[in-house]
Structure 1
C-alpha cells in the first residue's frame, strides 16, 4: 500500500501526479545529472511506479507500455543471432509466436518446452518460463530450475503475470529477470495497458532501460499513475480472488460435464505442492474443459456475472475460450478469471451457465 510513495509532507497528497511533460526546462549549459530532460526517458510518475513494482519484486523495475513490450524488449535486448532460447510451449501464445516468427527470422534458435519440462539446456542462452502458465496453469519449481539454468551458463527469465509479485518473487528464487503484464491482476481494474521488467543486476537493468529508450516503449504518465494507485488494493483483491477460485474449483470438481480442471490451489492439482511451497497467493484463474467449442461458447453466452472477455485478474469475473485465439489447447477449454464478486453468487452464475451449455 505504501510502495513507491513519497515521504509524508504536510499539505501534499499521498500519491502525487501524474506529471505530464515531454521536454523539461534545462540549465543553459544543458542537462545536468539527476534532473529530468526529456519525457521518453525521464518522468517522476513513471519512476514512482517503478519504485513500487521494484519494491514488491525485490529488484529494480523498468516500466513498459504493455506486457508484450516488456517481454519482447527483454528477449531482444539479451538475444543475438546464433543464440538459443527456450520458451514455454504452454504459456501465452503471443510470446511463443513472437519468438518463432520474429526471433527465429533473426537467427535465434527457438525451442518450445512445457512448463514442467524436461529442459535440455546445452547451448542455451536464455530460458523463459511462465509459472503458473497461461492458460494451462502448470507450475515449475523456480529455485530448482534456476540452479539448472545457471549451471548450464544460461539466464532465467520468468513471466510473473499470472502470479503477480505478491503471489511469488522469482528474483528471490534465483531468476535473473522478471517480465510481466501489469494490465492484469497487478493493477486489476481492467482499465489500462502496462508492462514491466525487473532485475537485481545493474547491467541487466541498464540494458533494459537502454532498449526502452531506443525503441520508445514507454508508458504514459497517466497510465503509470493509475497503475500505482490501483496497486494499493492488490493484496485485498488477490485474497478475494483466491477465495473465489477455491469455491469455484470445488464446485467444478463435482460438476458433471466438466473435465480438465486446473487450479494450483486445489490439493488434487498436479502443481499444488510446488505452488504452495513457492507462492504466497494462488491466482484466481481456473481452467476447465467442456467437450466442444459449441458448448464452451454456449456457456460464455449464458453467464451473467462472468463476462466474456480475453483478459484476467480484474475485479470483474471473466472467461474466454482459449482455442479461438490460437492457443494450442482443447477446443472447449475455458480460462476463467475469478473476480471480487460474492462467491455464492459467482458459483450460482457458473451453475446456470453450465446448465445452459450442457443442454446443447
Structure 2
C-alpha cells in the first residue's frame, strides 16, 4: 500500500494543501508546493532517479523504484488534486506520460470481457482506435453523440460511461450531473475527459463523475513543450487500479516533464482567462463573416451548447471551430495567417489552427477548422484573422 502524498518524504518539507477558501488565481500559484523552508527553492527541482536507497523491508516504503513513484510526480499530483477538488486531501491524481496514456489506463483497466462501455461518437479521434481494442478484448462498445445527452439512451447494462465535454473538435456539451446520476442508478462508473475545460473551467468530480481525465499536454501546461496526462478520482480503490496499470505498462512521465508541468500551473488561471476571452472575440468576429459557417464556441451567446455550458462551466475554453466553403479555401486561409501557427493540439500560449479533416478521423467537412486562441492581444488576433479571410477569398472569374 502506498502512503498518502502528505506522508511521503519530500525535499523541501511537507506539502501545503492550501485552503478551500482560496480563489483559483491564488490556488494555482501555490498548488502542490512544499511548506516554505529557509534557503530552499519554492518548487524544488526535478528528482532524477531510477532507484532509491532501499534498506530493509520494502512494504509501505514511499519510494522504491523509478517506475513506481517519484517525488517530482508527487508534488505535481498533489497540485492537480488541489485544482480538481479544492481543499480535499483525499482526492488522488495519477500522472501519465501522455493524455492517451491516461485515457487508455481508465478504459483498459476498468473493463473486462463481457462488460459494456458507452463512448461519445464525436469524441477525440483516437477513441476509435481504443474502441477497436476494447472490442477485440471482448468488451461491448456503444456510442452516441455528446449533444443532447444522447448517451443516456445507451446506459442500460453498461459498466462505464465515458463523457467528453466540451467535445473535440465539435464543441458540443453534455450535462455531467444528469448523466452521472443516471449512470450511477444503473451501476456504471463515469469518467469525463476534461481536457478542453481544465479543472479551472469545469470540475467533473464535483458534478458527480467518478474520474476526471485529461491531457495535460494542452491548456494545463500550455506551452506546447510537454506531453502529459492524468487521472483524478476521490475513490482510493479506483486510484489504486489506475496506478497499478501505470506501473504495469510503464506509462510514466519523466521527472523533467513533471517539473515543467508543475512550473506551468502557476499561470494557468491567467492563461485560461485570457484564452477564453480571445476565443470569444474570435468567435464573434468569425460569425460576422459571410464565408464562414457553423461557428462553435460554448461561450458564444446563441451557441447550442451555451445554456448548459453557462451552468456547468466557469470559463469556456480556448477552442473555436468553424467551417469554410471547401478544403482549398481553408488551406488558403491557414497559409495567410501571421499570428496563428498551423499546428495540431490546442491550449498553448500561441494561437494555432488546423484543417481538422486532414487527419481523416473526425466526421467534419473538408473546410472545417479548429482554432486554439492563445494569449496574444485580442485586437491583433482578430485583425489577423480578418485579413487572412480577406486574402483567402477566391479570385473573381475573368
Scaled by the length of structure 2, the TM-score of the pair is 0.88
The 1-side partners of 2:69 and 2:96 are apart by: 13
Partner of residue 46, structure 2: 18
Partner of residue 72, structure 2: 45
The 2-side partners of 1:21 and 1:156 are apart by: 35
Runs of 4+ in 1 over 4 A off after TM superposition: none
CA contact (8 A) 1:88 1:96 kept: no
SS for the counterpart of 2:307 is: helix
The 2-side partners of 1:250 and 1:57 are apart by: 30
Partner of residue 161, structure 1: 195
The 2-side partners of 1:242 and 1:178 are apart by: 21
CA contact (8 A) 1:65 1:220 kept: yes
The 1-side partners of 2:240 and 2:315 are apart by: 30
CA deviation map 1:25-54 (0-9, x unaligned): 111x24353431111112000110000111
Give the aligned CA root-mean-square deviation in angstroms: 1.0
Partner of residue 122, structure 2: 90
SS for the counterpart of 1:344 is: helix
Partner of residue 324, structure 1: 358
Residue in structure 1 matching 2:369, options 311, 321, 334: 334
**Structure 1 residue 182: deviation in Å?**
0.1
SS for the counterpart of 1:15 is: coil
**Structure 1 residue 284: deviation in Å?**
1.2
Partner of residue 168, structure 2: 134
Partner of residue 386, structure 2: 351
CA deviation map 1:296-324 (0-9, x unaligned): 11111110100000010000000011111
Partner of residue 142, structure 2: 111
SS for the counterpart of 1:345 is: helix
SS for the counterpart of 1:93 is: coil
**Structure 1 residue 293: deviation in Å?**
1.1
Partner of residue 148, structure 1: 182
Scaled by the length of structure 1, the TM-score of the pair is 0.98
The 2-side partners of 1:32 and 1:145 are apart by: 40
The 2-side partners of 1:182 and 1:135 are apart by: 17
The 2-side partners of 1:86 and 1:293 are apart by: 33
Residue in structure 2 matching 1:192, options 226, 230, 233: 226
How many residue pairs match? The answer is 358
- Structure 2, gaps ≥5 residues long: 1-28, 86-90
SS for the counterpart of 2:187 is: coil
CA deviation map 1:190-227 (0-9, x unaligned): 00100000110110001011111111001000000000
Partner of residue 71, structure 1: 103
SS for the counterpart of 2:30 is: coil
- Structure 1, gaps ≥5 residues long: none
CA contact (8 A) 1:87 1:96 kept: no
CA deviation map 1:104-138 (0-9, x unaligned): 11111112210123222111111111100000000
The 1-side partners of 2:286 and 2:43 are apart by: 42
SS for the counterpart of 2:126 is: helix
